[in-house]
Amino acid sequence: MCGIISVIDRLGNNMNGESIKKALSLMNERGSGEGAGYAVYGAFPDLADYYALHLFYDNLIEPKGAVEELLKKWGKIEHSEEIPTYSSGRMLKKHIPWRYFFKPDTSLFASTESLEEDIIISLTTKINTEINGALVYSSGKNIAVFKASGWPEEVADFYRIQDYEGYLWLAHNRYPTNTSGWWGGAHPFNLLDWSVIHNGEITSYGTNKRYLESFGYKCTMQTDTEVVAYLSDLLGRRHELPPEIMVKALAPPFWDEIDEMPEKERKLYTALRMAYGPAMMNGPFAIVVARPDYIAGFTDRIKLRPMVAAESGDRLYISSEEAAIRTIEPNLENIWMPDAGEPIIGRLRR
Amino acid sequence: MTTGATPPRYKISIDNDECMLCERCIDNCSYGVFRREGQKILVDSHKCTACHRCIAMCPRDAISLEEKPNDYRSHPLWTREARETIYKQANSGQIILSGMGNALDYPVIFDRLVLDACQVTNPSIDPLREPMEIRTYLGKKPRQLSLEKIRESDYELKTKLSPNLMLETPVMIGHMSYGAISLNAQLSMAKAVSELGTFMGTGEGGLHKSLYPHQEHMIVQVASGRFGVDIDYLERGAAIEIKIGQGAKPGIGGHLPGEKVEADVSKTRMIPLHSDAISPAPHHDIYSIEDLAQLVRSLKEATEWKKPVFVKIAAVHNVAAIAAGIARSSADGVVIDGFRGGTGAAPRVFRDHVGIPIEAAIAAVDEKLRQQGIRNEISLIASGGIRDSADLTKAIALGADAVYIGTAALIAMGCRVCGSCYRGLCPWGIATQKPELVNRINPEEASKNVSNLIKGWTLELAELMGAAGINSLESLRGNRDRLRGYMLDEEMMKVLDIKAIGA
């Protein structure tokens, strides 16, 4: 099951976390109280030039020491703080959430091609695979992620997300099967600029994972959703595909449809499927992928999971359920059910 | 002869109450087992190969066949085969020839792999009601695409694509040459692949005129003997395949006995009548990987870079590194032939003892190419002992793009796997050039049998994919998470990179 909701204000006006919490809680039927999470873009305007590394620590001794030693070795920590939390419902504080505002030192790397982003990915992979008791769960600039085990309202109150503001929100209500109750397993998944919320199960996981590994990504979260973030990073950032084309690579049109397309499009889509066949995702899913400049919602090619989109003024909403959107905005101008595989893209216009 | 006669391997008996003396058995047996004396059919069981032609043709079910009627004293080491090979060699002083695939009792890895299906958390997909995509492209793929934006949401492709073969099913028919098999057998398979939208190999026997109508579905082979190769041949093929080695006999060349080289075969192969066609073990212009890269490029130049070029190697211990070397040339695909691969004629010691099984070879090659970040840029075709749609599905899940079948296609035309192909007397009209035997195959009918087989497999593949919640072949390829090992040892599962059942 799982319930998802996302909203972007296309003019970049801020919204606080209050209404998204209500919208997500409305879909409690889709969750099991074992995981919920939120992501907000534009959360740290004063530190927007630094990568906001979010970590779960099991304790503040060994893992924290090891992480900080690593970060100081490879760059500069501008600011470090425990993420404020508050007691909430029946929630247990299993981990200590911490965030660093960090800038890697690119001069320390041999390759001239090494971008800051690649350094962040390699540090994240290193921490997540080699340092026990530390997990990086978010690493983007100006992006905050809040997740834990619990019902949506419990997790929201645990972090007091109403205290945060941003122009783009993602939220996810989890019904876990793979990793129950693990904080790291809750969505959104984040990697650099990318955040992902996902309802479904990716049956092509093995193929996608092996494809990503050949580009140097390592899957460490024990769940299929992280491949969406890595695939987005590979196709959208490293290969520079525009969002509508990237989505078509991940959930492509059927060959029968491609065969009927005009010449130029047919060539493009044939090439897309040939080059990115192993990136194609199969199985039931409804996904929203976010970057600082857009959100893109799409479903699998035969729409085995629900997705509804709506507009009101400058805001675009994507959700599992219409009722959740109406909790935020009862007066919608437009509401529609996108076709299978058809991307819904909301771009920032500022 | 000091060793005396060895006991017959098969015993044929005739139920005289049933026999109506129609003599069909005499007509059909090309090995001369049957003769008539008075009102009785007599048999010489020593000559029998268990090809079953007589049994299939007897209108009264009067013939029965028993395997190993007189056995030797049993012994775990000195098996019947061990002893008989010694008798044969003590008498001949020669290399023992054999046909078909590996006949030793190695465990079959495919049979220790089980497939996955969906329950509850993800729905299975019903291929009768939902689209199911089996199409595959073979050839070089770009690592990434570059696009040009024309206007908002309108992009044009800038990347130039290499020519690829488009397959409507990931099952192709492997290289069995005209000479090794009959023209009618080739023609039947060629008709089938044309109808199905897939491809077949010519083998190292040239391309006979009567196959020209199907040339768009033929992959022409360039092997170490260069038999049948000229520019016309290269240009007719849909793709070109350089054969370095063969799973049934890694490290040695081809062998077509002179008896099979009759007029038409000699013309098509461009060799003298009734001469043994012995391809050398290595290509005499390939003594290193860079020589191979040169040959690939020469063939590409000769055909103006319009055709994919594949390179076929036998699955040997170091197959992964060799495949990685091939992937660095201009080659578009690498074909891996496992040690169960069939053959018309191979020394038995090679057939049974050299090379590794295809399952492990696919896994090793796929993994090596991935480590080097080039897996998706080259196609991987697997062959050697693919028996059914389950083997096909498992081969793809391990990482193959497509498979070649050989023996299975022959069985679809009547072959009983008697393993006597090298004798040129095939009573089913397949591995023979004798006109009276060749005419036993009606290409119209036999092509239907071959295409039925591949259609059946393709339907089963679609069902298996649907059950696994996958609606496109790309998402099955290399999806080893959907396989589990059943009673495989830990080392083997590491090589295959799969988990055990229950894990």
Nearest Cβ partner of A206 from B121, B469, B482? B482
Q: Which candidate in A202, A203, A211, A261 is best for mutational testing of the B interface (most B CBs within 10 A)? A: A203
Q: Which sequence positions of A are flagged as catalytic?
A: 2
Asked if the bond preceding A292 is cis, omega within 30° of 0, the reply is no
Instruction: Give me the mean pLDDT over the B4-25 stretch.
Output: 94
- Answer whether A271 sits within 8 Å of B149, measured CB to CB: no
Instruction: Give me the mean pLDDT over the B259-276 stretch.
Output: 91
pLDDT of residue A106: 85
Nearest Cβ partner of B470 from A203, A276, A278? A203
Residue range A137-172, pLDDT digits in tens: 999 999 999 999 999 999 999 999 999 999 999 999
- Answer whether B373 sits within 8 Å of A278, measured CB to CB: no
CB A224 within 8 A of CB B121: no
Nearest-CA distance B149 → chain A (Å):
9
Nearest Cβ partner of B153 from A203, A213, A244? A244
pLDDT of residue A112: 57
pLDDT of residue A113: 57
pLDDT of residue A77: 97
- Answer whether B471 sits within 8 Å of A213, measured CB to CB: no
- List the alpha helices (DSSP H) in B197-288: 231-236, 263-269
Contact residues on chain A for B142, CB-CB shorter than 8 A: 271, 274-275
- Answer whether B145 sits within 8 Å of A271, measured CB to CB: yes
Nearest Cβ partner of B472 from A177, A274, A282? A282
Whether A201 and chain B come into contact, CB under 8 Å, resolves to: yes
Secondary structure string (H, E, C) spanning chain A: CCEEEEEEECCCCCEECHHHHHHHHHCHHHCCCCCEEEEEECCCHHHCCCEEEEEEECCCCHHHHHHHHHHHHHEEEEEEEECCCCCCCCCCCCCEEEEEEEEECHHHCCCCCCCHHHHHHHHHHHHHHHCCCEEEEECCECEEEEEECCCHHHHHHHHCHHHCEECEEEEEECCCCCCCCCHHHCCCEEECCEEEEEEECCCCHHHHHHHHHCCCCCCCCCCCCHHHHHHHHHHHHHCCCCHHHHHHHHCCCCHHHHHCCCHHHHHHHHHHHHHHHHHCCCCCEEEEEEECCEEEEEECCCCCCCCEEEEECCEEEEECCHHHHHHHCCCCCEEECCCCCCCEEEECCC
Residue of A nearest to B135 (CA): A255
Instruction: Give me the mean pLDDT over the B84-95 stretch.
Output: 94
Which parts of chain A sit beneath pLDDT 70?
1, 111-114, 179-180
Residue range B206-262, pLDDT digits in tens: 999 999 999 999 999 999 999 999 999 999 999 999 999 999 999 998 888 888 898
Q: Where are the beta strands (DSSP E) in B429-488?
A: 483-485
Coil/strand/helix, residue B415? coil
Neighbour-count burial of A220, counting CB atoms closer than 10 A to its CB (0-12 exposed, 13-18 middle, 19+ buried): middle
Which token pair is A321?
Answer: 């359920």
Contacts of A318 (CB under 8 A, 6+ apart): A4, A5, A6, A7, A288, A295, A297, A307, A308, A309, A344, A346
Which token pair is B387?
Answer: 């028996």
Q: Is the pLDDT of residue B68 over 70?
A: yes
- Answer whether A245 sits within 8 Å of B137, measured CB to CB: no
Q: Which candidate in B132, B154, B157 is best for mutational testing of the A interface (most A CBs within 10 A)? A: B157
CB B403 within 8 A of CB B173: no
Neighbour-count burial of B49, counting CB atoms closer than 10 A to its CB (0-12 exposed, 13-18 middle, 19+ buried): buried
pLDDT of residue A90: 85
The β-bridge relationship of strands B10-14 and B63-67 is: antiparallel
pLDDT of residue A177: 75
CA distance A185 to A149: 9
The residues that bridge with B200 in the sheet, in sequence order, are: B173, B218
Nearest-CA distance B381 → chain A (Å):
16
- Answer whether B479 sits within 8 Å of A204, measured CB to CB: yes
- Answer whether B122 sits within 8 Å of A278, measured CB to CB: no
Which token pair is A20?
Answer: 């998204």
Structure confidence at residue B6 as a pLDDT band (50, 70, 90): confident
- Answer whether A273 sits within 8 Å of B474, measured CB to CB: yes
The rounded mean pLDDT for chain B is 95
pLDDT of residue B1: 61
CB B300 within 8 A of CB B206: no
Nearest-CA distance B477 → chain A (Å):
6
Nearest-CA distance B250 → chain A (Å):
30
Q: What is the CA radius of gyration of chain B?
A: 24
pLDDT of residue A332: 95
Residue range B226-238, pLDDT digits in tens: 999 999 999 999 9
Nearest-CA distance B475 → chain A (Å):
5
Question: Of A318-322, B102-106, B467-471, where does mean pLDDT reach its minimum?
Answer: B102-106
Q: Is the pLDDT of residue B55 over 70?
A: yes
How close are the terminal C-alpha atoms of chain B, in Å? 60
The residues that bridge with B353 in the sheet, in sequence order, are: none
pLDDT of residue A27: 94
Contact residues on chain A for B155, CB-CB shorter than 8 A: 242, 245, 268
Instruction: Give me the mean pLDDT over the B22-30 stretch.
Output: 97
| pLDDT above 70 as % of chain B | 100
ipTM: 0.91
Distance of CA B90 to the CA centre of its chain: 33
